[in-house]
Structure 1
Amino acid sequence: MTPIVTPREQQEKQGGLAIALDAHIQRLDKHGFLFGKGLAASMSPLLHSVVYQGLGLQWGQIRLDSTDMDLFLQLIKHPKFYGASVTMPHKVTILSRLDELTEECREVGACNTLFLRHLPDGRRLFCGANTDVVGIRESFIQNVPVGSSVYENRPAMVIGGGGAARSAIYALHKWLGATQIYLASRDDSEIEAIVAECKERSYGARLLYVKTPEQAEALEAPGAIVACIPDRAPVTEGEQTLKRITEVMLRKERKGALLEMCYNPSPFTALGALAESEGWQVILGTEAMIWQGIEQDKYWTGRGADELPVTEVKKAIAAKVIEISRP
């Protein structure tokens, strides 16, 4: 198993720079990081290890479980560093520390991928991308038969109001043909913030905040739903209202496809089970994780998706899902 590097472990100070290179890292030709908190259960290092093995690369992604941004910014200066997956709580705060951002990264306002751009004079630029949006897009394109008739030119829905919800809105607006995007959350302030941000980016008018089950009853059925909430029973009044709104949408006569972004501790969630029982096609959150990871490796290796071992990645992640889902 890939080791976990923490600020208290495996650090050596040389020339004022903090480096975190243990025996494992030193055996690699290149190394990257998974930077965030609560990373022990992440499948990201597994996914990328399958890709690198398939390409014959002696590369590896190391978990950096830390809130220390300054430490991270020192570590990425290492000459063998190739890039990083960036997760919570750093997806927004890292933006101001990067040299360049892709269009998706700027539009969503969050970065989950750090990659390098090399200048002719030998300098390296640290660049930010958002591949979460690609993961969401490809989850629908790759898994929904005749997808355009299922979700294009129909309303869509996003459940939740965090970073994943922002990525979902972008993907549905930019690539998946949503005519309108319903938003539902347990927290009014989350949706208000999202709508304000999207208005600044010219597509706020396409968003509709669904506040009550009665309002949901009167709306056209969505063709695509992206659920971005934890898999837990509703407790608060806001959570209970959100559950009722979701149930109204799922029980409409015309069905579609639901992407359940939650896959920890298991991708088989209560919401997914409900949607399936109501006749919806359910796409597991591991699909979004796979396709965003493949997009990351396109940045890092310079290879196209058709050159990467996607089938092997899917098999490895499926096996891991079975393992973690056992009672």
Structure 2
Amino acid sequence: MSITAYEGLFEGEAAVWLKAGRYEAAILPHIGGNLICFRDTENGYRFLHEPGAEEMEAFKASPGIHGIPVLFPPNRYEDGEFPFNGKTYHLPVNETATGNHLHGFLHTAAWEVEEFGVGKSESFVTVAIKVDENHPSYQYLPFKYTVKLRYTLGEGGLSQHLQVHNDGEELMPCLLAFHTAINAPFAPGSTPQDYKVKLTIGERWELNERMLPTGAFQELTADEIALRDEGLYPFYAPMDNHYTAVAQNGRNRMELTDSKSGVTLVYDVGTSYKQWMIWNNGATEGFFCPEPQINLVNAPKVDLRAEEIGLFSLAPGEYWEETGRLYVK
């Protein structure tokens, strides 16, 4: 099996490419540490929603719906207010339609390549971002921390290892998600109608007109029960829905099955992600985003137990880490 890792370009942007046998992947360190493509070159599968040459400028301006963007802190915060540990921090209101802050700071920031290379049976890359008083986001969330993201490519597909370290001297919030954009169809010759998605959802959070949780749950519809149990067409209705994550058979994952090719893409995200967002661009065929999320939307302002809503914190010197994997069965 041919295995390589090298610096190159993706649509004109600096990238690190990984190759291992039939698989290839590329990461854009300077655009949010975004893993922008994951492909099976033998079968022509393109699993992630990639920006084409004509989309690169829009992607760079708003890198939220291509590849695997890192959101920290993720999703919406009411009026940009972020109360934590007795203080209230103020994030910029960047979603005018709702008057909320959306998606944090890391998906648009420049990350650094720590290392890349090859092992006996896989290629790998590690990127990192260090936030301190010199980082632009520190003015909004004045915490010192380092986030490291390592991707490994091999026979078992694409593995992801994420680590957050509190570099500072006070308790910090650890709220994070991936806005993962999955193609449906991912196989040439297949249509969106050939696809079913299954997701380890539990209960659906009720959201108000500003897309913020009320703290109450809504009863799952028959379609959502199918989404949980046997799978359904990813574009059956517009989805911008928020669910608790409930592991099945010990795993927290999305499964996307192409009935025409008889292939299932598995996105196993680990059980530290307590919530799922699922967004399908207004039921527009082509791609959708199953988003594993540590925390409930607007968690710092929701009056529920911290553990229940994923309102995680890190003490000075502490680490939080989780792994994920995209693979085919």
Give the TM-score of the pair, scaled to structure 1.
0.28
Bigger fraction of residues in helix = 1
Whose Rg is larger? 1
Kindly indicate which of the two structures has a greater share of residues assigned to strand: 2
TM-score by length of 2: 0.28
